[in-house]
Copies of this chain bind each other. A is one copy, B any other.
Amino acid sequence: MESNPSTMQEQSPSCQEITMEVHSVVPPPHKSTIQKLKTRLKETLFPDDPFRQFKGQPTKKKWVLAAQYIFPILHWGPNYNLKLFKSDIVSGVTIASLAIPQGISYAKLANSSFVPPLVYAVLGSSRDIAVGPVSIASLILGSMLTQQVSPTGDPVLFLQLAFTATFFAGFFQVSLGFLRLGFIIDFLSKTTLIGFMAGAAIIVSLQQLKSLLGITHFTKKMGFIPVMTSVFHNSQEWSWQTILMGFSFLVVLLVARHVSMRRPKLFWVSAAAPLVCVILSTFLVFAFKAQHHGIGVIGKLQEGLNPPSWNMLQFHGGHLGLSMKTGLVTGIISLTEGIAVGRTFASLMNYKVDGNKEMMAIGLMNMVGSSTSCYVTTGAFSRSAVNHNAGAKTAASNIVMSITVMVTLLFLMPLFQYTPNVVLGAIIVSAVVGLIDIPAAYHVWKMDKFDFIVMLCAFFGVIFISVQHGLAIAVAVSIFKILMQITRPKTVLLGKIPGTDIYRDLHHYKESVKIPGFLILSIEAPINFVNSTYLNERVLRWIEEYEAEDPKMQSNSSLRFVILEMSTVSTIDTSGVSFFKELKQTMEKKGVELVLVNLVGEVMEKLQRSNEAGDFMKPDCLFLTVGEAVATLSATIKGQSSNDV
């Protein structure tokens, strides 16, 4: 498989500004199918090579490392000291002050989640994540269930389904992590998420119109149109006292948020604002007996710790499909947020989180949570940001938060009975409004118009169709975009940059020139069944265009060689192999020779294997660079034409 020595000899006297040697093209080293499969599986499932640290360690050390791998707390725990604890206690209390009102708001449950953070502190590998229920997932869970079961009409069944859905969410998360299929969440691109989050924020905010306007009869549906219909249909129920109170507190919360965003050092302003609002509004209601003047309050809440709830999980009956579907959707959405939060802070602070292991931590935390009366929890973005800014050093801040929440649950719950619903609504709106990221959307518009369309699909899909369908449409459209890129790969005409041996896009590098008699193309995608037909047509069109350009057909400028620069063709399948065979046949009928440059190992191997007859892929049609191919082959042309004379 070496390049033909006879052509090499012909070349030397006549040619080129740059004298050069022609390098032999060698086949890649042999690898068995099993070896290839092993490499492939490793790259697919273990791209971060998590077991590298185990290599070459003594057995005892391996056990320690394994325990530390499974329980990261064993890694940082032994070195834990008072200084770290001081940082963690400040941040823990800070996020607790955020967690209590948010927990009450999202879950409309007194038994706010204090177990999941403890599980995460043991299993999680991020130092900055603060665990808790997140707005979008909690409210999707609520609304998906509400469409079939009424939380007021049948509260026990509703709770059973909510915990079962949480269990399934956790189960899906653990499975994805354990099977190392975490890359599946990568199919939710950032662009999709920008659109989705903005849409979901609007949907969630619309739901808050119930408490913000003081409406008592409200639709169970989530879409923009039914909610707005319901709001204006029941406009006689609007209560001006509620509206006044709600919008005042909303302004306070938004201003606090704005202040903290401008000056990260003042993180405590937005962190403390919700709790301050809750306390202030509760005091106002209590002082003015506002609950008798049209302002709805939470009322008596169940006191004490979360009761166990494993007896409420239901794995049979007619609602199983509903809880599985709800679990899948909320599981994937909360996972996406949790992993994104973990990765963001890890890259900010230059440490590493293992995505698949994080999934297992988050999943286990939800499975445990579902047995202790908790809804879906995950690493929440806003809360983790506060945690980070408040100086959290380890996952111990989650433990501090958890204990603070627990104490609140045990002793301070009665104080919240006069808290007005409208303030909780305002807290939710102020929390989700940050999810509408207009600068990011503008950035996407500027960068990639098609991505922007994907974003709009997610946004309008969520608002006008449904959360699940909006997400599904956006994912389908973005996968379709990738498939289109493969279905119609670019073929680029290359030209020589004068005075060099470099061949580049003729259209991009204006100074580059065509070489008479040669058509040099670069194919910019793997060749497979979706594009082999197209490529065949496209290459033939390039040839026809070449011939049309030069109608005189002088003998020395007529097309002699088509050089395909194959560096970019990382892999081919059986259709790709047929593509080359057909192309070669067609070209032979036209008297044109097909030359392949820089075949990648796998491609070369497959073409060789299909070449048992030996008529295809002759070694003198293979070169390592375009420059060498052109130099060698133009020497051949000259040799031939001088023989003709």
Residues of A within 8 A of B (CB): 21, 23, 26, 28-29, 33, 37, 40, 43-44, 47-49, 183, 186-187, 189-192, 343, 347, 350, 355, 443-444, 446-451, 478-479, 481-490, 497, 499-500, 502, 504-505, 507-510, 522, 524-526, 528-534, 537-538, 541, 567-568, 570-571, 573-575, 577-578, 582, 585-586, 589, 598, 600-601, 606, 609-610, 624-625
Contacts and interface: CB of A to CB of B under 8 A. Distances in A.
B570 A47 contact: no
A502 B23 CA distance: 10
Nearest to A590: B350
A624 B501 CA distance: 12
Given A23-B497, A487-B186, A508 B573 contact: no
A191 B575 contact: yes
Contacts of A40: 488
Nearest to A525: B570
Contacts of A479: 483
A447 B531 CA distance: 18
Given A507-B28, A575-B189, A347 B451 contact: no
Contacts of A29: 507-508, 510
Contact of A485 (B524, B526, B538, B568): B526
The 8 closest A-B pairs by CB, nearest first: A189-B529, A524-B570, A568-B568, A28-B508, A508-B601, A447-B574, A48-B537, A451-B574
Nearest to A33: B449
A44 B189 contact: no
Contact of A44 (B47, B187, B488, B570): B488
Given A43-B488, A190-B578, A507-B601, 12 more contacts: A40-B488, A43-B538, A183-B487, A187-B529, A189-B573, A192-B529, A350-B589, A446-B609, A447-B577, A505-B600, A508-B600, A568-B570
A179 to B, nearest CB: 15
A439 to B, nearest CB: 13
B568 A504 contact: no
A631 to B, nearest CB: 13
Contacts of A487: 44, 183, 186
Query: Residue among A447, A522, A528 with the most chain B CB within 10 A?
Result: A447
A367 to B, nearest CB: 25
Contacts of A183: 487-488, 530, 533-534
Contact of A186 (B478, B530, B598): B530
A343 to B, nearest CB: 8
A190 B574 contact: yes
Copies of this chain = 2
Nearest to A339: B533
Given A347-B585, A589-B350, A186 B601 contact: no
A637 to B, nearest CB: 24
A488 B180 CA distance: 13
Contact of A488 (B47, B524, B533, B600): B47
Contacts of A589: 350
A531 B186 contact: yes
Contacts of A481: 573
A236 to B, nearest CB: 45
B482 A528 contact: yes
Contacts of A28: 505, 507-508
A482 B578 contact: no
Nearest to A577: B447
Contacts of A21: 499-500
A437 to B, nearest CB: 13
Given A191-B529, A447-B574, A482 B486 contact: yes
A502 B624 contact: yes
A504 B624 contact: yes
Contacts of A575: 189-191
B600 A484 contact: no
A520 to B, nearest CB: 14
17 contacts: A21-B499, A23-B497, A183-B488, A186-B529, A186-B531, A187-B529, A189-B528, A189-B574, A190-B574, A190-B578, A191-B574, A347-B582, A448-B606, A450-B573, A486-B486, A522-B567, A567-B568
